[in-house]
Amino acid sequence: MTKGRHWVALWLAAFLVTTWLVYARQTAAIRAARELADLRARRANMDGHRADLERRIRAAESRAVLVPRAQARLGLHLPSDSEIVLVPAPSGSH
């Protein structure tokens, strides 16, 4: 009789351990999935931020913006070719 109870207890314990393992694994997986989703969201956010900054930098660097400002604020002008001097590379400079 006592031996039978031990077996029942053992099976019950095994069942509980197995159930707990499944539960723990599921919980960990769901937590990892949430973290992954959060990281993806953060990455998407940073990508979006980077793209926005790149777009603004590109716009700020464009000739349409720079040239008029350089002319108006700094008094610069686009050089004519006579103002551009290309110095010949000395032989053996590589």
Partner 1 sequence: MARPAVRIQVVEFGVLVGLALLVTRAAQVQILHGRRWAEEAQAQRTERIVLQARRGTLYDRHGTPLAVTQETYHVGIAPNELRDPATDGALISRRLGLTARTWQQALRRRYAYFAGPYSALEVQPLRSVRGVHLESVLNRFYPDPAVARATIGRLGDDGLGASGLERTLDSLLAGRAGAAVVLKDRAGREYESPARVIAPPVPGLDVVLTLDLELQEIAQRALDDALRRMDADAGDVVMLDPATGEVLALASRQRDGSARPSAFTDTFEPGSLAKIFAAAALLSLRRVASTDQVSGEGGKWRVLGRTITDEDPQPSLTLADAIRVSSNIAIAKFAARLTAEEQYAALRDFGFGALTGIEFPAEATGRLRPPSEWTRPSAASLAMGYELSVTPIQVAMAYGALANDGLLLQPTLIREVRSAGGGLRYRHRPEPVRRVVSPAVAAALRNLLRGVVERGTGTEAALTNFPVAAKTGTARRVVNGRYAAGEYTASFAALFPADQPQLVLVVKIDNPHKGSYFAAQTAAPVTRSMLEQALAARTVALDRARLSTAAPRAATAPADDDGGLVPYVVPWPYQPDSAGVGPRRAVPDVAGVGMREAVRTLHRRGFRVSLRGWGVAEHTWPAAGDSAAAGSMVTLFADPYAAVRVRARGPAPPRRGPRR
Among 45, 60, 69, 71, binds partner 1 (CB under 8 A): 45
Assigned token pair, 51: 């793209």
Contact partners, residue 66, CB within 8 Å, separation at least 6: 60
Query: Which CB atom, from 2 or from 82, has the smaller least distance to partner 1?
Result: 82
- Least distance (Å) from partner 1 to the CB of residue 13? 28
Q: Is 81 in the site for partner 1 (CB under 8 A)?
A: yes
CA gap 60, 58 in Å, rounded? 5
Tell me whether residue 7 is exposed, middle or buried, using C-beta atoms within 10 angstroms of its C-beta: 0 to 12, 13 to 18, 19 or more.
exposed
- Least distance (Å) from partner 1 to the CB of residue 75? 11
Structural contact between residues 78 and 67, judged by C-beta atoms closer than 8 angstroms: yes
Which of the ranges 2-10, 11-19, 47-55 carries the binding residues for partner 1, by CB under 8 A?
A: 47-55
What residues make contact with partner 1 under the rule CB under 8 A? 26, 29-30, 32-34, 36-37, 41, 44-45, 47-49, 51-52, 54-55, 58-59, 62-64, 78-90, 93-94
